[in-house]
Structure 1
Amino acid sequence: MEDLIIEKTQSTPFIHFSQSTNILTLHGESFPENSAKFYAPVLEWLKEFMASPETRKATLEFEIIYFNSSSSKVFMTMFDLLQEAVRNGKEILVNWKCDEKNETAIECGEEFKEDLDNLPFNIVLI
Protein backbone atom coordinates (compact mmCIF):
# COMPACT_ATOMS: atom_id res chain seq x y z
CA MET A 1 0.00 0.00 0.00
CA GLU A 2 1.40 3.36 -1.02
CA ASP A 3 1.15 6.65 0.84
CA LEU A 4 -1.64 8.97 -0.19
CA ILE A 5 -0.59 12.53 -0.95
CA ILE A 6 -2.98 15.16 -2.29
CA GLU A 7 -1.60 18.64 -2.73
CA LYS A 8 -3.43 21.66 -1.35
CA THR A 9 -5.50 23.87 -3.65
CA GLN A 10 -7.47 27.04 -2.99
CA SER A 11 -10.48 24.99 -1.91
CA THR A 12 -8.99 21.70 -0.70
CA PRO A 13 -6.56 20.75 2.06
CA PHE A 14 -3.14 19.14 1.88
CA ILE A 15 -3.61 15.46 2.67
CA HIS A 16 -0.85 13.04 3.54
CA PHE A 17 -1.56 9.55 4.79
CA SER A 18 1.69 7.77 5.57
CA GLN A 19 1.68 4.02 5.96
CA SER A 20 5.20 4.02 7.42
CA THR A 21 4.45 6.50 10.25
CA ASN A 22 0.72 5.77 10.59
CA ILE A 23 0.11 9.52 10.70
CA LEU A 24 -2.78 10.85 8.67
CA THR A 25 -2.57 14.61 8.08
CA LEU A 26 -5.19 16.99 6.73
CA HIS A 27 -4.23 20.66 6.72
CA GLY A 28 -5.83 23.73 5.17
CA GLU A 29 -9.32 24.67 4.01
CA SER A 30 -11.99 22.37 2.66
CA PHE A 31 -14.76 23.67 0.46
CA PRO A 32 -14.51 21.71 -2.80
CA GLU A 33 -17.33 21.97 -5.29
CA ASN A 34 -18.07 18.28 -4.78
CA SER A 35 -16.80 17.06 -1.39
CA ALA A 36 -17.97 13.48 -1.91
CA LYS A 37 -16.03 13.21 -5.17
CA PHE A 38 -12.92 14.93 -3.80
CA TYR A 39 -12.76 12.79 -0.65
CA ALA A 40 -13.70 9.46 -2.31
CA PRO A 41 -10.05 8.34 -2.79
CA VAL A 42 -9.27 9.47 0.76
CA LEU A 43 -12.08 7.36 2.20
CA GLU A 44 -11.04 4.35 0.09
CA TRP A 45 -7.42 4.67 1.21
CA LEU A 46 -8.52 5.00 4.83
CA LYS A 47 -10.76 1.90 4.60
CA GLU A 48 -7.93 -0.15 3.11
CA PHE A 49 -5.41 1.19 5.64
CA MET A 50 -7.67 0.41 8.61
CA ALA A 51 -8.45 -3.08 7.25
CA SER A 52 -4.76 -3.96 7.02
CA PRO A 53 -3.61 -6.36 9.74
CA GLU A 54 -0.32 -4.41 9.92
CA THR A 55 -2.17 -1.28 11.02
CA ARG A 56 -2.34 -1.37 14.79
CA LYS A 57 -2.11 2.31 15.67
CA ALA A 58 -2.76 5.53 13.79
CA THR A 59 -2.99 9.23 14.53
CA LEU A 60 -5.09 11.67 12.54
CA GLU A 61 -3.75 15.22 12.64
CA PHE A 62 -6.67 17.36 11.53
CA GLU A 63 -5.94 21.08 11.10
CA ILE A 64 -8.74 22.45 8.96
CA ILE A 65 -9.06 26.22 9.17
CA TYR A 66 -12.40 26.42 7.37
CA PHE A 67 -14.76 23.82 5.91
CA ASN A 68 -18.22 23.75 4.36
CA SER A 69 -21.14 21.58 5.42
CA SER A 70 -20.55 18.94 2.75
CA SER A 71 -16.95 18.56 3.94
CA SER A 72 -18.29 18.24 7.49
CA LYS A 73 -20.36 15.24 6.39
CA VAL A 74 -17.31 13.57 4.86
CA PHE A 75 -15.27 14.25 8.02
CA MET A 76 -17.97 12.54 10.08
CA THR A 77 -17.81 9.58 7.72
CA MET A 78 -14.04 9.47 8.32
CA PHE A 79 -14.56 9.59 12.07
CA ASP A 80 -17.15 6.81 11.83
CA LEU A 81 -14.61 4.64 9.95
CA LEU A 82 -12.01 5.36 12.61
CA GLN A 83 -14.49 4.64 15.38
CA GLU A 84 -15.25 1.28 13.80
CA ALA A 85 -11.51 0.55 13.64
CA VAL A 86 -11.28 1.26 17.39
CA ARG A 87 -14.14 -1.17 18.00
CA ASN A 88 -12.12 -3.74 16.05
CA GLY A 89 -9.08 -3.32 18.30
CA LYS A 90 -7.09 -0.58 16.57
CA GLU A 91 -5.52 2.24 18.58
CA ILE A 92 -6.63 5.45 16.89
CA LEU A 93 -6.18 9.02 18.08
CA VAL A 94 -7.66 12.14 16.48
CA ASN A 95 -6.04 15.50 17.15
CA TRP A 96 -8.37 18.32 16.03
CA LYS A 97 -5.96 21.26 15.88
CA CYS A 98 -7.29 24.79 15.77
CA ASP A 99 -6.25 28.32 16.56
CA GLU A 100 -7.31 29.26 20.07
CA LYS A 101 -8.98 32.37 18.60
CA ASN A 102 -11.04 30.40 16.08
CA GLU A 103 -14.20 29.79 18.11
CA THR A 104 -16.01 28.22 15.17
CA ALA A 105 -13.31 25.56 14.67
CA ILE A 106 -13.28 24.83 18.40
CA GLU A 107 -17.08 24.47 18.50
CA CYS A 108 -17.04 22.19 15.45
CA GLY A 109 -14.40 20.01 17.08
CA GLU A 110 -16.51 19.82 20.23
CA GLU A 111 -19.57 18.82 18.18
CA PHE A 112 -17.65 16.07 16.38
CA LYS A 113 -16.29 14.84 19.71
CA GLU A 114 -19.80 14.68 21.21
CA ASP A 115 -20.96 12.41 18.38
CA LEU A 116 -18.16 9.89 18.91
CA ASP A 117 -18.52 7.41 21.72
CA ASN A 118 -15.24 5.47 21.63
CA LEU A 119 -12.83 7.35 19.36
CA PRO A 120 -10.16 9.24 21.33
CA PHE A 121 -10.60 12.83 20.10
CA ASN A 122 -8.44 15.69 21.38
CA ILE A 123 -9.07 19.35 20.68
CA VAL A 124 -5.61 20.90 20.50
CA LEU A 125 -5.41 24.68 20.66
CA ILE A 126 -2.49 26.20 18.78
Structure 2
Amino acid sequence: MDNLKIAATERSPAVDFDFAAGRLSLKGESYPEDASAVFGPIFAALEAFLGAARGREVTFDFDLTYFNSSSAKALMNMFQMLDQSADAGCRLTVNWFYAADDDTMKEFGEDFCEDLSHVTFNLVSVE
Protein backbone atom coordinates (compact mmCIF):
# COMPACT_ATOMS: atom_id res chain seq x y z
CA MET A 1 0.00 0.00 0.00
CA ASP A 2 1.32 3.43 -0.95
CA ASN A 3 2.06 5.87 1.85
CA LEU A 4 -0.14 8.93 2.20
CA LYS A 5 1.56 12.31 2.52
CA ILE A 6 -0.42 15.52 2.35
CA ALA A 7 1.25 18.83 3.08
CA ALA A 8 -0.31 21.08 5.69
CA THR A 9 -2.21 24.11 4.52
CA GLU A 10 -3.27 27.18 6.42
CA ARG A 11 -6.50 25.36 7.38
CA SER A 12 -5.66 21.64 7.31
CA PRO A 13 -3.10 19.41 9.03
CA ALA A 14 -0.10 17.66 7.55
CA VAL A 15 -0.79 13.98 6.99
CA ASP A 16 2.07 11.49 7.06
CA PHE A 17 0.93 7.87 6.93
CA ASP A 18 3.87 5.49 6.60
CA PHE A 19 1.91 2.28 6.28
CA ALA A 20 4.92 -0.03 5.94
CA ALA A 21 6.31 1.24 9.26
CA GLY A 22 2.87 1.37 10.93
CA ARG A 23 3.42 5.04 11.77
CA LEU A 24 0.60 7.49 11.15
CA SER A 25 0.59 11.20 11.91
CA LEU A 26 -1.66 14.26 11.78
CA LYS A 27 0.05 17.53 12.67
CA GLY A 28 -0.99 21.17 12.65
CA GLU A 29 -4.33 22.96 12.65
CA SER A 30 -7.61 21.69 11.24
CA TYR A 31 -10.43 24.06 10.39
CA PRO A 32 -11.16 23.41 6.72
CA GLU A 33 -14.18 24.88 5.00
CA ASP A 34 -15.03 21.41 3.67
CA ALA A 35 -14.00 18.78 6.20
CA SER A 36 -15.21 15.92 3.99
CA ALA A 37 -12.86 17.01 1.19
CA VAL A 38 -9.91 17.03 3.60
CA PHE A 39 -10.75 13.92 5.59
CA GLY A 40 -12.28 11.82 2.80
CA PRO A 41 -8.93 10.66 1.36
CA ILE A 42 -7.57 10.16 4.88
CA PHE A 43 -10.51 7.92 5.83
CA ALA A 44 -10.26 5.93 2.59
CA ALA A 45 -6.53 5.25 3.09
CA LEU A 46 -6.95 4.51 6.79
CA GLU A 47 -9.84 2.12 6.20
CA ALA A 48 -7.88 0.19 3.56
CA PHE A 49 -4.82 0.00 5.80
CA LEU A 50 -6.67 -0.98 8.97
CA GLY A 51 -8.55 -3.70 7.10
CA ALA A 52 -5.25 -5.53 6.64
CA ALA A 53 -3.54 -4.49 9.89
CA ARG A 54 -4.67 -7.35 12.12
CA GLY A 55 -1.85 -8.37 14.45
CA ARG A 56 0.32 -5.38 13.50
CA GLU A 57 1.65 -2.71 15.79
CA VAL A 58 0.45 0.71 14.68
CA THR A 59 1.20 4.09 16.24
CA PHE A 60 -0.90 7.14 15.44
CA ASP A 61 0.44 10.53 16.51
CA PHE A 62 -2.05 13.37 16.81
CA ASP A 63 -0.22 16.66 17.18
CA LEU A 64 -2.95 19.22 16.60
CA THR A 65 -2.81 22.74 17.96
CA TYR A 66 -6.37 23.64 17.00
CA PHE A 67 -9.41 22.07 15.34
CA ASN A 68 -12.99 23.15 14.73
CA SER A 69 -16.22 21.25 15.39
CA SER A 70 -16.37 19.59 11.95
CA SER A 71 -12.80 18.38 12.42
CA ALA A 72 -13.69 17.13 15.91
CA LYS A 73 -16.44 15.00 14.38
CA ALA A 74 -14.00 13.64 11.80
CA LEU A 75 -11.49 12.86 14.56
CA MET A 76 -14.16 11.05 16.56
CA ASN A 77 -15.01 8.95 13.50
CA MET A 78 -11.31 8.24 13.06
CA PHE A 79 -10.97 7.15 16.68
CA GLN A 80 -13.95 4.82 16.26
CA MET A 81 -12.22 3.23 13.25
CA LEU A 82 -9.04 2.82 15.28
CA ASP A 83 -10.88 1.30 18.23
CA GLN A 84 -12.70 -1.19 15.99
CA SER A 85 -9.42 -2.20 14.38
CA ALA A 86 -7.81 -2.64 17.79
CA ASP A 87 -10.75 -4.79 18.86
CA ALA A 88 -10.12 -6.95 15.77
CA GLY A 89 -6.49 -7.58 16.76
CA CYS A 90 -4.44 -4.60 15.63
CA ARG A 91 -2.17 -3.34 18.43
CA LEU A 92 -2.87 0.37 18.25
CA THR A 93 -1.25 3.14 20.23
CA VAL A 94 -2.45 6.73 20.00
CA ASN A 95 -0.18 9.54 21.15
CA TRP A 96 -2.10 12.77 21.75
CA PHE A 97 0.39 15.65 21.89
CA TYR A 98 -0.55 18.95 23.51
CA ALA A 99 1.35 22.01 24.68
CA ALA A 100 1.98 21.89 28.42
CA ASP A 101 0.06 25.14 28.89
CA ASP A 102 -2.89 24.17 26.63
CA ASP A 103 -5.56 22.79 28.95
CA THR A 104 -8.14 22.77 26.16
CA MET A 105 -6.19 20.37 23.92
CA LYS A 106 -5.35 18.22 26.93
CA GLU A 107 -9.06 17.99 27.80
CA PHE A 108 -9.93 17.08 24.21
CA GLY A 109 -7.43 14.24 24.43
CA GLU A 110 -8.94 13.08 27.72
CA ASP A 111 -12.43 13.19 26.18
CA PHE A 112 -11.39 11.17 23.11
CA CYS A 113 -9.60 8.67 25.36
CA GLU A 114 -12.76 8.00 27.37
CA ASP A 115 -14.53 6.69 24.27
CA LEU A 116 -11.83 4.14 23.40
CA SER A 117 -11.84 0.64 24.84
CA HIS A 118 -9.16 -1.20 22.86
CA VAL A 119 -6.55 1.44 22.01
CA THR A 120 -3.57 2.39 24.17
CA PHE A 121 -3.96 6.17 24.53
CA ASN A 122 -1.08 8.34 25.72
CA LEU A 123 -1.44 12.00 26.63
CA VAL A 124 1.92 13.59 25.84
CA SER A 125 2.72 17.02 27.23
CA VAL A 126 5.16 19.01 25.11
CA GLU A 127 7.13 21.98 26.44
Q: 1:27 to 1:115 in 2, by over 3 A?
A: same
Scaled by the length of structure 1, the TM-score of the pair is: 0.96
Q: 1:27 to 1:55 in 2, by over 3 A?
A: farther
SS of structure 1 residue aligned to 2:15? strand
Q: 1:77 to 1:53 in 2, by over 3 A?
A: closer
SS of structure 2 residue aligned to 1:2? coil
What is the distance in 2 between the residues matched to 1:69 and 1:103? 17
Unpaired segments of 5 or more residues in structure 1? none
Q: Where does residue 2 of structure 2 map in the other structure?
A: 2
Unpaired segments of 5 or more residues in structure 2? none
Amino acid at match of 2:57: K
Q: 1:43 touches 1:78 (CA, 8 Å); kept in 2? A: yes
What is the distance in 1 between the residues matched to 2:68 and 2:46? 21
Amino acid at match of 1:120: T
Q: State the aligned residue count.
A: 126
Identity across the alignment (%): 36
Q: Give the superposed CA RMSD.
A: 1.2
Q: Where does residue 112 of structure 1 map in the other structure?
A: 112
CA-CA distance at 1:37 after TM superposition: 2.0
Runs of 4+ residues over 3 Å off in structure 1? none
Kindly report which structure 2 residues correspond to 1:1-126, keeping only aligned pairs within 5 A, or say none.
1-52=1-52, 56-126=56-126
